[in-house]
Amino acid sequence: MLIADKEPRTPYRNYYDWYSRQDPARLVAKSRDAENIFRKTGITFAVYGHADSSEKLIPFDIIPRVISGREWRRLAQGIEQRVLALNAFLDDIYHKQEIVRAGRIPARLIERNDAFLPEMIGFRPPGGVYTHIVGTDIVRTGEDQFYVLEDNARTPSGVSYMLENRETMMQMFPELFQVNKVRRVEDYPQLLRQSLASLAPPGCKGKPRVAVLTPGIYNSAYYEHSFLADMMGVELVESSDLRVIDGKVKMRTTRGYEAIDVLYRRVDDDFLDPLTFRPDSCLGVAGIMDVYRAGNITIANAPGTGIADDKAIYSYMPEIVEFYTGRKALLENVPTWRCSEPDSLKYVLEHLEELVVKEVHGSGGYGMLVGPAASRKERAAFAAKLKAQPSNYIAQPTLSLSTVPIFVNKGMAPRHVDLRPYVLVSDKVQIIPGGLTRVALKQGSLVVNSSQGGGTKDTWVLED
């Protein structure tokens, strides 16, 4: 928020002027009000693997993150380029694999990847779109230096927090939105429904029927599944509500079974169809892959998209972007060592105290080592894992991430953040202005995941 001489940066000027006039006691009370709003609304998540597996309230900070229109335009151009390249990459690897033939990506990285689905080979989804909803994680290290930390091309979560954060801020501080021209995020559910409906299968007649498939109430993101279905005005369904009848996926209703045209699934590939993938799955629909390949339903995101956000593939993203767009990537990758390569593994083992090491298929902040914050014993244990299965890991430098202020009882305090903008892909690319800012609430921490103690804040993109 502030530059070296304690003056506010231009995007924050109006907010800082307002903040400077506020009674600290009022802001403390407002912070408590925000917590109560989240509790009453039921904005919670669950953390798997903890002794206390109860629903937890996601911490919300009342100081917004503010991004100028100029900064956002630069980010949006880079995100669009990257998302288009990811979609072209998916289409290619399930068809001609020209990028492999050109020697830009090793064949083993595709063939031996658990996220690569042979069932998708030769099949092209409606409209040629694989990644209907993408969440691109971005970090900032300088005034004009942004890096993509991760691509979420399977089932990116958190958009409900983005929407509720904005709703809460508008409810508590309406005066701020009169003096700051903040771009809207509230129409995301309508844009999502329109985007999904536009990619209904060719045989769809009339208005496409869209539904959200959830694993059920015990899933950590169930709140979001029900929230999005409600906001879009579509049905929220579980596997028990669906069955394949006459070559269509149909939903049980009070009027009998009715066909679904577009299924926004929040179920992982492995559990999507017990006849094709895991036979013990109770979360999917038996035979849905046959219906899909016959062109009678659209599944968003497409099965097999997980290979596009695999962390080993991530390390090749500069080559992928250039191969499919003919231009250098506008947004840079974080420098990455592939531990599957002997020289890289040697370097990583020798510099563990400086690096962040991540599982290739990991998510949610699990299974990673933050070298500078780890003990000697933790690093030694992780080194043993690396030596045993080097291809399971990549490593990155510990970046000097930017900080934004959070509100504490004594005023403001700096904390590290990342940003997850949400992208909708149909016959066009729509990037929601802002996204979800995740913040590491622990002083000095670089881990922003809610499952690891992180929180969120409203993200403002200003009109010029």
d(CA 262, CA 120): 18
Q: Return all residues near 117 (Cβ < 8 A) that are at least 6 apart.
A: 269, 303, 304
Report the pLDDT value the prediction gives residue 448, as an integer from 0 to 100: 78
Is residue 48 over pLDDT 60?
Answer: no
pLDDT band at 452 (very low <50, low <70, confident <90, very high): low
Report the pLDDT value the prediction gives residue 46, as an integer from 0 to 100: 59
Say if residues 422 and 133 touch (Cβ distance below 8 Å).
yes
Say if residues 309 and 154 touch (Cβ distance below 8 Å).
yes
Q: Domain coordinates of the chain in residue numbers?
A: 10-332+400-461, 335-397
Query: Running DSSP on this structure, what letter comes out for residue 427?
Result: S
**Lowest mean per-residue pLDDT among 41-45, 182-186, 267-271:** 41-45
DSSP codes of every residue in 83-119: HHHHHHHHHHHTTT-HHHHTTSS-HHHHHT-TT--GG
Report the pLDDT value the prediction gives residue 170, as an integer from 0 to 100: 96
Is residue 362 over pLDDT 80?
Answer: no
- Residues 287-342: pLDDT tens digits? 999 999 999 999 999 999 999 988 889 999 999 999 999 999 999 999 999 998 99
**Mean pLDDT value across the chain:** 92
Is residue 166 over pLDDT 80?
Answer: yes
Report the pLDDT value the prediction gives residue 274, as an integer from 0 to 100: 97
Is residue 364 over pLDDT 80?
Answer: no
pTM for the model: 0.91
pLDDT band at 366 (very low <50, low <70, confident <90, very high): low
- Residues 57-94: pLDDT tens digits? 788 999 999 999 999 999 999 999 999 999 999 999 99
DSSP codes of every residue in 384-411: HHHHH-GGGEEEEE-----EEEEEETTE
CA quadruple 15, 17, 18, 19: dihedral sign: positive
pLDDT band at 258 (very low <50, low <70, confident <90, very high): very high
Give the C-alpha distances (Å, rounded to integers) separating 67 from 62, 164, 320, 321, 332.
16, 19, 28, 25, 19
Share of the chain above pLDDT 90, in %: 78
Kindly state the average pLDDT of the residues 374-391: 92
- Residues 96-148: pLDDT tens digits? 999 999 999 999 989 888 899 999 999 999 999 999 999 999 999 988 899 99
Share of the chain above pLDDT 70, in %: 95
Report the pLDDT value the prediction gives residue 450, as an integer from 0 to 100: 64
Is residue 361 over pLDDT 90?
Answer: no
At 259, is the secondary structure helix, strand, or coil?
strand
Kindly state the average pLDDT of the residues 247-263: 96
Residue among 331, 380, 340, 374 nearest 355 (CA): 374
Report the pLDDT value the prediction gives residue 41, as an integer from 0 to 100: 79
CATH code 3.40.50.720 for 335-397: no
Report the pLDDT value the prediction gives residue 45, as an integer from 0 to 100: 60
| Position with higher pLDDT, 455 vs 242 | 242
Instruction: Residue 447: count other Cβ atoms within 10 Å of its Cβ.
Output: 19
Residue among 461, 458, 463, 460 nearest 165 (CA): 458
- Residues 426-446: pLDDT tens digits? 999 999 999 999 999 888 777
pLDDT band at 401 (very low <50, low <70, confident <90, very high): confident
Is residue 270 over pLDDT 90?
Answer: yes
d(CA 317, CA 308): 9
pLDDT band at 451 (very low <50, low <70, confident <90, very high): low
